[in-house]
C-alpha cells in the first residue's frame, strides 16, 4: 500500500476528493498524514472525521524551523507522494530536495498562465475574468523551487462563458480539480 501525505490551507475539498477516491477502491493507498498550514480550517475537520493523523503549522513558521518540522513529520509518515491540495505556504527547498519529483501541486488555472506569487484561490479566477480569457482550467504539476513552475503533468480546460464571475468560474474549475487530482495521483502511484 502506498502512502500519500496531503498539505492543505483551506476547506480541503480536494483533500476530500482524494479520501473518496481511496475509499471507493480506485487506488491501493492511504493518506498517512495531513499538514495544515494554519489552525481552524476545514481540512483539519476532515482529518478528524477520517482518523487521519494531522499536524498544524504555526502561522509564522518559516525558514529552518519550517523545513525541520516538515522533514520530521514526513520521515514519520513516509510518503510515496506528497500532494499540495490548496496549500499556500512555500515549500522549503530542503524539503523539495529530499522529496525531488515526489511532490505535486494542483493549481486553479492553465499554467503557465496565472501562476506565481499572489495567484491563489479566487485571485486567480478574478485575474482570468479581467484578462477576458475564453478558457481557464486546472493544472497538476511537479513542485520545484520556483512557484508554480515545475513540470506540468496534466491539465483540464474549462470554458469561460459570458456572465461568468470569479465565483462561478471557481466552482466550475474546482469540480474539475476533484476529478483531475485523484486521477493523476493514481497514475503516478501505479507507475512507481
Query: Is 125 in the active site?
Result: no
Q: Which of 7, 77, 99, 120 binds ligand GAR (CB under 6 A)?
A: 120
Q: Which of 10, 33, 92, 182 binds ligand GAR (CB under 6 A)?
A: 10
The answer to whether residue 5 forms part of the interface with ligand GAR (CB under 6 A) is no
Please identify, using beta-carbon distances, which residue of 56 and 68 lies nearer to ligand GAR.
56
Marked catalytic residue, from 107, 125, 141, 178? 107
Question: Which cell goes with 171?
Answer: 466552482
Q: Which of 33, 79, 92, 108 binds ligand GAR (CB under 6 A)?
A: 108
The answer to whether residue 144 forms part of the interface with ligand GAR (CB under 6 A) is no
Q: Which DSSP string corresponds to the chain?
A: -EEEEEEESS--HHHHHHHHHHHTTSSSEEEEEEEESSSS-HHHHHHHHTT--EEE--TT--HHHHHHHHHHHHHHH--SEEEESS--SPPPHHHHHHTTT-EEEEESS-TTTT-STT--THHHHHHHHHTT-SEEEEEEEE--SSTT-SPEEEEEEEEPPTT--HHHHHHHHHHHHHHHHHHHHHHHHHT-
The answer to whether residue 12 forms part of the interface with ligand GAR (CB under 6 A) is yes
Stretch that binds ligand GAR, among 51-59, 74-82, 103-111, 156-164 (CB under 6 A): 103-111
Site for ligand GAR in 151-180 (CB under 6 A): 174, 177
Which residue lies nearest ligand GAR, judged by its C-beta? 86
The answer to whether residue 33 forms part of the interface with ligand GAR (CB under 6 A) is no
CA distances from 153 to 76, 80, 110, 143, 183 (A): 27, 17, 12, 11, 11
Please identify, using beta-carbon distances, which residue of 165 and 192 lies nearer to ligand GAR.
165
The answer to whether residue 136 forms part of the interface with ligand GAR (CB under 6 A) is no
Q: Catalytic residue numbers?
A: 107
Binding footprint of ligand GAR on the chain (CB under 6 A): 8, 10-14, 85-86, 106-108, 120-121, 124, 174, 177
Amino acid at each position: 500500500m502506498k502512502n500519500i501525505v496531503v498539505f492543505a490551507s483551506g476547506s480541503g475539498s480536494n483533500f476530500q476528493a482524494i479520501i473518496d477516491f481511496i475509499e471507493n477502491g480506485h487506488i491501493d493507498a492511504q493518506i498517512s498524514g495531513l499538514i495544515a498550514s494554519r489552525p481552524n480550517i476545514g481540512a483539519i475537520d476532515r482529518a478528524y472525521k477520517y482518523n487521519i493523523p494531522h499536524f498544524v503549522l504555526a502561522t509564522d513558521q518559516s525558514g529552518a524551523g519550517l523545513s525541520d518540522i516538515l522533514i520530521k513529520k514526513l520521515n514519520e509518515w513516509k510518503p510515496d507522494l506528497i500532494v499540495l491540495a490548496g496549500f499556500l505556504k512555500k515549500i522549503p527547498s530542503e524539503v523539495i530536495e529530499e522529496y525531488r519529483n515526489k511532490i505535486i501541486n494542483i493549481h486553479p488555472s492553465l499554467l503557465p498562465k496565472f501562476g506565481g506569487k499572489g495567484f491563489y484561490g479566487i485571485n486567480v479566477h478574478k485575474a482570468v475574468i479581467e484578462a477576458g480569457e475564453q478558457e481557464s482550467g486546472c493544472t497538476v504539476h511537479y513542485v520545484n523551487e520556483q512557484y508554480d513552475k515545475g513540470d506540468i503533468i496534466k491539465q483540464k480546460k474549462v470554458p469561460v462563458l459570458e456572465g461568468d464571475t470569479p465565483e462561478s468560474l471557481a466552482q466550475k474549475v474546482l469540480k474539475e480539480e476533484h476529478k483531475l487530482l485523484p486521477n493523476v495521483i493514481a497514475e503516478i502511484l501505479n507507475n512507481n
